[in-house]
Structure 1
């Protein structure tokens, strides 16, 4: 049996080849996810076991100098503290690692450097591609990536011009599910807390709410107020304006769960109960929404799947510069919990 190499120096591909009893070029192909299919499956598995046993670590710097690829992908998030982005990031990382890529995550949340500065920093690290979760409807960062010929895709949000591929949820459908549910319970005066109109999610969910109201066979009254940000504080402020302008509403559809939690705060401040006085529906079904009081009815988005789809789109773009621009739209579903109920008889 071949001897293990000395522990005093880094393990090389030649060491793995000697240990596994194969040629170094075969080891190189087996260790590279992009070329692993060129090696017989059982032999590739044997080589991977040998590399793991020896503690082989690839020299990414040397590989980058040799191939011109860093095997790094940058991910720019709008707020890493928002629980929505953890499963998205998990999905992205899970898919990219299958092709040998590592991720560098940058947070553009409150107090962070400007998104442009963060983007330039990621590009300076010679990333092979970028996933942007920060996109506005008219996004300057997308243009910056295109100017520099850096492959880029969007996740969770899209831009109006659709210049690059994106993985998003069907926001219009999500609002239809929420309104249908409330109307089915007997609600006829429904308010909406919209997200920022500069974001695709804010605009499309507002349009989806309005379309869902129009599509009902029952005459309805609808009212809306836009939040300045996707935050609990902005949700409470917008809900306060909504309740002042339309005190007769019996239900609120929020454009995301943080806005819905802000609506909870606004209701408590006015001595109103959920769902006894006003039902509330969120959007995203982010983690722990079943633990708030009352547990939040929410439109569930499969965020991990969305992250995987975005990463797949980017891998295709990094493999082929002429890959077609595509929009992958995931289908949401409604998760009904304790925050929605039929209106009281006197409210109807």
Structure 2
């Protein structure tokens, strides 16, 4: 008995046109999100239904050869394992897919030379635009995009010179909400666990922390902050140890990032201190599962999915040439109160100093 062939046949535009009773050019327009508006809605729906029924798939490579376009957008992230970027990627990819674009994600780390190398490689592959979640305050990748005329937008972080459109969260408002919260609880000795000064989020949140402290007449002559070298749990623990060594009287820590806040949890545990009984901690970002850590983290919630969608919209406008102006979209964050913050207890600073003295005695 002869075997039936398992090889799937290729469905053509002509076959879809015959099934939908339209001209092949109408099928091409209806199946391309960028030109679908040229086709009557009822006809477009009929074409899409026929294509789905027949199992038609667009040949993007062939389309790219015909039109000189790849319909590919690159997105650079500094650490794909950092769950902050997952909803940003999701929001951007969903919006781009609706317009017929595919997203290529590159995990490029913090090395600017590596970032530039990857961007150059993407450019040779006819990438149509870039969404950069990696930008530093003065960034060579931005220089490259401008020199090459490559459409690009920034997300989550901004460049100091504002040479490209960006979608960011309101860092100043977020820090104000965090400081207001711990002050309202009764804390006065408040420290800031800062991010790297080389990126806008580290720089702006540190500056906003001191602005908020000044509003409450709480700014000290000695800076109450320690800067981490990167946004990671390990760097957060290192910076918190330095912070506690410098000032054992602090009763609250406002961190520039949730991972830094988790590092603060680790440093407190090492020293026999408890959160929030000894020191309250506030994070920033509301990364996934921050409600599941112990204690659940009070933090500043950022609309990461919305950041991604807005960045994709801006990039699509740049690719089409609809909006050549540089725009800065700022989304408002909100405070999420959980169990890592509480009112300072009587003698809290004294207990913190006592814990440090005990550790010193044991070490000696």
Same-fold status (TM-score > 0.5): yes
Gaps of 5+ in 1: 1-6
Which TM-score applies when normalising by structure 2?
Answer: 0.91
Give CA deviations for 1:158-177 in whole Å, capped at 9, x if unaligned. Answer: 10011011111000110000
Q: Determine if contact 2:237/2:264 at 8 Å carries over to the other structure.
A: yes
Contact between 2:317 and 2:323, CA under 8 Å: does it hold in 1?
A: no
Q: Which residue of 2 aligns with 1:288?
A: 289
Structure 2 partner of 1:74:
74
Which position in structure 2 is the counterpart of 1:227?
Answer: 228
Report the Cα distance in structure 2 between the residues aligned to 1:214 and 1:154, rounded to whole angstroms.
Answer: 31
Equivalent residue number for residue 28 of structure 1: 28
* Larger deviation, residues 111-120 vs 173-182: 111-120
Distance 1:182 1:42 in 2: 57
For residues 31-180 of structure 1, the aligned pairs below 5 Å read 31-109=31-109, 114-180=114-180
Root mean square deviation, CA, Å = 1.6
Matched, 1:259 2:260: yes
Partner deviation per Cα, 1:101-158 (whole Å, 9 max, x = no partner): 0011111138999212221221122111011110000000011111111100011001
Residues 76 and 131, structure 2, Cα contact 8 Å, conserved in 1? yes
Work out whether residues 250 and 279 of structure 2, in 8 Å CA contact, stay in contact via their aligned partners in 1.
yes
Question: CA deviation digits over 1:6-55, x for unaligned, max 9?
Answer: x8542121111111100111111111111111211121111111111111
Distance in 1, matches of 2:122 and 2:183, equals 47
What pairs up with 1:6-21 in 2 under 5 angstroms? 9-21=9-21
Aligned partners of 2:96 and 2:312 also within 8 Å: yes
Q: Provide the C-alpha distance between the structure 2 equivalents of 1:126 and 1:225, rounded to a whole number of angstroms.
A: 43
Q: CA deviation at 1:306?
A: 0.3
Q: Who is 1:3 aligned against?
A: none
Q: Identify the residue that residue 203 of structure 1 maps to in structure 2.
A: 203
1:289 CA displacement:
0.4
Change in 2 beyond 3 A, CA 1:198/1:50:
same
Secondary structure of the residue aligned to 1:283 is coil
Give the Cα separation in 1 of the matches to 2:34 and 2:324. Answer: 17
Give 1:321 shift.
Answer: 6.9
- Which has the larger Rg? 2
Shift of 1:220: 5.3
State whether residues 302 and 332 of structure 1, in contact with CA within 8 Å, keep that contact through their aligned partners in structure 2.
yes
Equivalent residue for 1:276?
Answer: 277
* Partner SS state of residue 175, structure 1: helix
Contact kept, 8 Å, 1:189 with 1:220, in 2: the verdict is: no
Residue matched to 2:337: 336
Separation in 1 of the partners of 2:84 and 2:343? Answer: 29
Give the conservation status (yes or no) of the 8 Å contact 2:112–2:141.
no
Query: Matches of 1:261 and 1:8 in 2, distance apart?
Result: 52
- The farther-off stretch of 130-139 and 8-17 is 8-17
CA distance 1:253–1:219, change in 2 (3 Å): closer
Contact 1:188 1:220 in 2 (8 A): no
Consecutive unaligned residues of structure 2, counting only runs of 5 or more, are: 1-6, 350-364
